[in-house]
Structure 1
């Protein structure tokens, strides 16, 4: 009987990148949890001292990322519906980050991938899905499509 092959150890720079990436995502998630989601569905980022969305100010039209901080803030407070309403792509990215942050940090600490890395096909599918949801959400919000 053949024993399962153990995953190869991560190189020092891979551990560093996994650790930094996981830490960045964890800080973003913690920041989103700390913020109070805006009742307008966008503008939560202004609590961090950032300016309002330039595209909204110049044209009155939301950009594709408008509402993402609000979406993450809702998600971190357990309000998935509020997260989807603020920006559905933000909800999707937040959910991905909730998985990726601990995976990346634990892999960096242990020195091996704690969960096998997804295949290229899965990564491409996730990327296409996130881009499609981002653009679809944006087109609906600017009333290009009436649902």
Structure 2
């Protein structure tokens, strides 16, 4: 193995922490029951209803994200996409990132790819764009 590719103990621990946080988020989503309204699942965690919706009567861009995660973790991708496409994409990215971070931490070298700021910015920008476009779709649908 090329010594220059070995990850420091500090970075390996950070990656292990990232994978643990991702696993906890995914486990929490798996334990939730998707709200039949298509939003509001986060209220099962003791969180308040969406203030934007309460004030305007319109769903905010993140309305339905927790519901999308719950549907996705139960294997119902069509319902997840209907609830919030951006949330569904984010859930999928967290699944991939959790596995990637755990594998990289365990192997002590980057698993498959080495992350770059350009890739991360591109993925984040695409996710934001999908979330906004999906929000416009949901607003138009009523």
Task: Give the TM-score normalised by the residue count of structure 2.
Answer: 0.89
State which of 3, 8, 12 in structure 2 corresponds to 1:11: 8
Structure 2 runs not aligned, ≥5 long:
none
* CA displacement at 1:142 relative to structure 2: 2.0
- 2:58 is aligned to 61
Q: Which residue of 2 aligns with 1:44?
A: 41
What's the offset of the Cα at 1:98? 1.2
Q: Which structure shows the higher helix fraction?
A: 2
Structure 1 ranges of 4+ moved more than 6 A: none
Unaligned 5+ residue runs, structure 1?
none
Residue in 1 aligned with 2:139? Answer: 142
* Alignment of structure 1 residues 1-147 onto 2, 5 Å: 5=2, 8-143=5-140
**Root-mean-square deviation (Å):** 1.8
Deviation track 1:16-54 (CA, whole Å, cap 9, x = no partner) reads: 221111111111111101100010000001111111111
Provide the rounded CA distance (Å) in 1 between the counterparts of 2:128 and 2:135. 11
Cα separation, 2, equivalents of 1:126 and 1:40: 29
- State the alpha-carbon separation in 1 of the partners of residues 10 and 55 from structure 2: 43
SS in 2 for 1:142: helix
Q: 1:124 Cα deviation (Å)?
A: 3.2
Distance 2:17 2:10 in 1: 10
